[in-house]
Each structure stands twice: as C-alpha cells, then as structure tokens.
Amino acid sequence: MAPAYASETCPVAFRGYLANYVCLCWALGQLLAAGVLFSFSDNQWAYRLPFAIQWIWPIPLIIILWFTPESPYWLAKKNRLDDAKAVLRRISAKSSKTDEDLDKQLAMIVHTNKIESEHTKGSSYLDCFKGINLRRTEIVGLVLVAQNTTGVGIGGTPTYFFVQAGVDPSNSFKFATGALGLASVGVIISWFLIYRIGRRALYVWACGICTVLMLIIGILASVPQIQGVSFGQAGVVLIWEIVFYATIGPILNGTYGPYMINPTEGNWEGKVGYFWAGLSLLTFTWAYFRLPETKDRTFEEIDILFANKTAARKFPDTKVDAYADDSEGRIIKETEV
C-alpha cells in the first residue's frame, strides 16, 4: 500500500526515492530487532522486548496518517477535482503552486485516468491474462517473484546459515547484525543508483551478480572445510545483503530456505548456493529480455507504451505524445537500439 500511495502522491522525480523508502524501513526494523536480541541474548528480554517495541509505533502512525492527504489520482477518479487540486497545492513546491501549474498537473492526472479507463472499460480480473495486459501481469508478477529467486533463502536467514556453514553461534549473530546494517546502507545506495543507472539495468545486473555470489557460496561449500572457508561463505553473504538491498529489494522468506539448510532435513549447507544460483540465472535471463525501463516515465506514458506493444528494449528511446487523439498517434518516434 505504501509504495502505491507514494508513487501517486509524490512528483515523478522523487517517486523512486519514496517507493524505495519502504525497503529502508524494513531493513531498519530488522536491524533494530537484531540489535535488541544481541543486547539481551542472555535473558528472557531477548524475546519479550522485540514484541514490546512493535506496540510503540501504531499510536504515532495513526496520528500521522490522520493528517495525510488523500491521493490526488483517487480523488480525480471520484470526480472530486477541487479536492484533488487542493491536495496538489498542499504537496507541491512553492514554485509550482500557481493556479496555472496546478491546473496542468490536474489535467495530466485526469488525462491519465481517462487513458486507464479506456483500457479497463468493461474489463474483469480475467482480462489481466489477455492481450497487452498479459505482458504487464507477467512483468509485475515475475519482478516480485525474483525477490525470492535470487538467494533470499540464504540471505533472509543469515544467522541460521552462518551456524550451518560452521561459524560459531556468537560470531554468527554478530555477522547477521552486520548484514542487516549493510542492508540499510544498501537501500540508501539504491537511491543514488536508480536515477543514474535506471531501474531495468540495475535490476538485470543485480540478478547477474546474485547468481555469481550464490555460485561462489556453493563452490566454497564443496571444497575441504576449514575455518577460513566458513568465514568466506559468511563474507559472500554480507556482500549479497548489500547488493540485494541496493537493487532488488527485501522480502521475507522463512520456510523452504531453512528447510534445505537444516541438517536434519535437506542438509545442503552452503551447497544450497547452487540451487539459488540456478534460479538467479533464470531470473537474470528473463529480466534481460523482458523487463522494460520505466525511468523518468509518468504512469500515462507507461500505459501508452504498453498499449502500443513497444518492445522492452525500445522503452527508453521511444518518444510519447500523451495528448494525441488516438493510441497510435501517441507514439512519436522509436529509436532502434
């Protein structure tokens, strides 16, 4: 819910930052929990305090949300144009608060809603799997699936993996706390990367890097086991944490990953890296050929590009006229890449 609200409320220039901020909140929350567990690891507060801390946040959040403006896109869809304009005036920069500027922003929102309504008129959920919508459903679904296929079964439960790799429990917990700290740093790094590199390039090459890192973990688990090897695996996981959180984003995964590592179940230990390397490679291949670049695009332009069946590789160089009379005329130019 938070990324959708942020993307509809903030300017296009800040959309990536605020949508990504959710990842930082998750990373900081996990880091806070790990710090509390580490500080009270020798008494009952190790499990009591994290639960208690969770109940601190609802009251201030409820107060903040009470004063949060409604999405101008939602208000425009409900034909509450005056309310939408009032929200735009409230959230816009001082230099963009003239009636002319606000009317332009509102006109763009209304036009975006009009285009979307043209494409969704008389549609049902089944239409998500038909025509041009099938491609969009594929991209949205597999982009999120990729968060589970690039090694999160290892990086999502670092303490357990470190112990099974041969690191003693005390150092395993320290490594895990450090990994979550790196995850927070990774999200901040992503703020600088998404606008310099673009979403697609960052995502594709992150999948490639995760593939290599998982393969290294598998190889290290296959050689004769000495103390240095276990620390080597831990080091690679730390690198994975910062790469993953700086690019693909955090996701919780607590079932099948630990099952494969568990010595009484799968007992794969570090060799589970081979499994994740294979899935990461498949994800990298899909993203390379199917994932389009949406950097600096409005929702309106993205809708038009999909409606015209623009190839993923042509997204960055295709010029769009959002106010043309018909869908065909809205594509001005496609530059071959």
> Which of the given ranges, 40-54, 75-89, 119-133, 232-246, has the highest pLDDT on average?
75-89
> What is the per-residue pLDDT across 252-298, written as a single tens digit (0 to 9) for each?
333 344 444 454 445 566 777 888 899 999 999 999 999 998 887 87
What would the DSSP string read from start to end of 88-110? Answer: HHHHS-GGG-SHHHHHHHHHHHH
Residue 331 pLDDT grade (very low, low, confident, very high; cuts 50, 70, 90) = low
- Give the model's pLDDT for residue 240: 87
How many whole angstroms separate alpha carbon 91 and alpha carbon 88? 5
> What is the per-residue pLDDT across 203-212, written as a single tens digit (0 to 9) for each?
899 899 999 9
User: Is the pLDDT assigned to residue 121 strictly greater than 90?
Assistant: no
- Give the model's pLDDT for residue 327: 53
Residue tagged 């630990």 (tokens) = 258
Of 250, 230, 236, 233, nearest to 185 by C-alpha is 250
How many whole angstroms separate alpha carbon 195 and alpha carbon 296? 8
Q: Cβ(315)–Cβ(292) under 8 Å?
A: yes
Phi first, then psi, for residue 318 (nearest 5°) are: -90, 125
Which tops the pLDDT comparison, 289 or 96? 289
Q: Hey, what are 154's tokens?
A: 């290892």
Domains of the chain listed by start with CATH number:
2-64+130-290 (1.20.1250.20), 69-121 (no CATH), 299-334 (no CATH)
Could you give the C-alpha distances from 258 to 155, 164, 243, 283, 308, in angstroms and in order?
A: 11, 10, 21, 21, 44
How many whole angstroms separate alpha carbon 75 and alpha carbon 89? 14
User: Is the pLDDT assigned to residue 194 strictly greater than 70?
Assistant: yes
